[in-house]
């Protein structure tokens, strides 16, 4: 992973048109992504900014162009961390580079209703069970009044729930009275998650 981030730095300086072959080889060299790197334990020095941006729709850009290789996106997502300064970084044991995120770094693209809980899938194929460790949160845009639902994927990293998925949740929802107001929500592992007021 250290080599991969250094490769991006070289790429910025020497090759602004696309990804070189050695970068793809570096992805393969890192093997399986099933075990997440312990980025929360790493405290490397800050090495500057890199021109990577995650759009609100989950698309990753490098120097304004889409990153179209899913393996590359998954690899970088595996070393993504949000720090207390509110910024997002790609982390290795030796390096820390800052990237830009428009909204949330991930998107929930599907949901399944299981026996007693809900199972979500992100745009990078991570499976997330809705529970106390991975709660559903709704924020309201103060200007438009539109709700934006998020689910915590891992420490400080959230996924924006896609509009179609949110509509599915509305179909699964039940009504409760909370503080004298009728509310819609879903239940997962005996926890009630508010979707909105009726």
Average pLDDT, the chain: 84
Is the model more confident about 147 or about 116?
116
Report the alpha-carbon distance of residue 144 to residue 72 in Å, rounded: 35
> In 3-state terms, what secondary structure has residue 177?
strand
Q: Rounded to whole angstroms, how far apart are CA atoms 182 and 96?
A: 47
Query: pLDDT at position 190, please?
Result: 93
CB 151 within 8 Å of CB 105: no
Has residue 75 got a pLDDT over 50?
yes
Strand partners, 158: 152
pLDDT of residue 58: 95
Greater pLDDT, 70 or 24: 70
Arithmetic mean of pLDDT, 95-100: 92
Distance CA(16)–CA(10), nearest Å, equals: 10
Return d(Cα 23, Cα 55) in angstroms, integer: 23
Instruction: Say how far apart CA 67 and CA 111 lie, in whole Å.
Output: 25
Q: Looking at residues 32-55, what average pLDDT do you find?
A: 82
Q: Which of 5-14, 71-80, 116-125, 154-163 has the lowest mean pLDDT?
A: 5-14
Model pTM score: 0.82
For the segment 98-125, the average pLDDT, to the nearest whole number, is 96
* Of 78 and 143, the one with more pLDDT: 78
| pLDDT tens-digit series, residues 138-197 | 998 777 778 899 999 998 999 999 999 999 999 999 999 988 889 999 999 999 999 988
What is the model's pLDDT at position 95? 86
Question: Quick one: pLDDT at residue 72?
Answer: 86
Q: Write out pLDDT tens, residues 14-39.
A: 444 444 344 434 434 443 345 678 88
């Amino acid at each position: 992973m250290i080599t991969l981030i250094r490769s991006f730095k070289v790429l910025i300086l020497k090759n602004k048109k696309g990804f070189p072959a050695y970068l793809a080889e570096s992805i393969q060299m890192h093997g399986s992504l099933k075990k997440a790197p312990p980025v929360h334990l790493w405290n490397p020095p800050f090495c500057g900014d890199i021109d990577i941006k995650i759009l609100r729709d989950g698309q990753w850009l490098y120097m304004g162009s889409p990153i179209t290789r899913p393996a590359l996106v998954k690899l970088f997502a595996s070393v993504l961390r949000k720090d207390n300064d509110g910024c997002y970084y790609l982390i290795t044991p030796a390096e820390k580079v800052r990237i830009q995120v428009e909204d949330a770094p991930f998107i929930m693209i599907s949901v399944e209703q299981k026996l007693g809980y809900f199972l979500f899938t992100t745009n990078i194929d991570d499976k997330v069970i809705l529970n106390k460790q991975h709660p559903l949160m709704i924020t309201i845009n103060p200007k438009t009044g539109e709700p934006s639902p998020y689910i915590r994927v891992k420490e400080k990293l959230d996924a924006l729930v896609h509009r179609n998925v949110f509509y599915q949740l509305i179909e699964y929802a039940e009504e409760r009275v909370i503080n004298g107001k009728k509310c819609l929500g879903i239940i997962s592992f005996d926890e009630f998650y508010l979707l909105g007021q009726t």
